[in-house]
Amino acid sequence: MKKILLILLVSTLMIACGNEKKENEETQNEETVTYEEEEELPILLGKQEITTIKSAPYSKWFMENYKYSPNQKKLGPLKTALEGKKLTIFMGTWCEDSQMQVPALLNVLDAIKYDSSNITLITMSEDKDTPEGLEDGLNILYVPTIIVYENELEMGRIVEYPVESLEADLLAIATGEEYKHSYADEQE
């Protein structure tokens, strides 16, 4: 029975981190790595410190995907645009999109010396929920979901993967440019 449940779980995880998967030809970094088939990692739930996903047993996929090379021309404007703003990251430690995008995002934020105390990291179950209900009212259907806040109001979000790149999408959101995340048309 345990083997059947494990096979079903792995099959489900391989399909996607959302309810369905869109093709993403241009925005995936070629260096990204996932490890979902190599080992079964504990699934984290609730608020986490960033150091938790940087540490074993998550460090293998974290460190590989942290090598993301951001567009250097976007970093200066992004640093200015994110001043006074907060980020909430919903992710699944079980989700390959989260394993790719969240370390790359943290690399971008480290490159601009973004104050990590302005980041809230929330890890979710495969059902996109947390024991504390931290996702309630936020319409989290896919992970990762990265929400940018100013004065406690949502400015915008990147859902599952960026449209252009992490730094370009964050810059558009933080400067108030018109921006639609990957699933915006489906969620209207």
Give tens-digit pLDDT for 150-164: 999 999 999 999 999
Instruction: Please answer whether residues 161 and 182 qualify as being in contact, where contact means their C-beta atoms are separated by less than 8 angstroms.
Output: yes
pTM: 0.80
Task: Tell which phi-psi region holds residue 137, choosing left (phi > 0), alpha (psi between -120 and 50) or beta.
Answer: left
* 58-111: pLDDT as tens digits: 999 999 999 999 999 999 999 999 999 999 999 999 999 999 999 999 999 999
Q: What CATH number labels 2-19+31-187?
A: 3.40.30.10
Which residue, 168, 167, 138, is CA-closest to 153? 138
Model pLDDT for residues 102-117, shown as the tens digit of each residue = 999 999 999 999 999 9
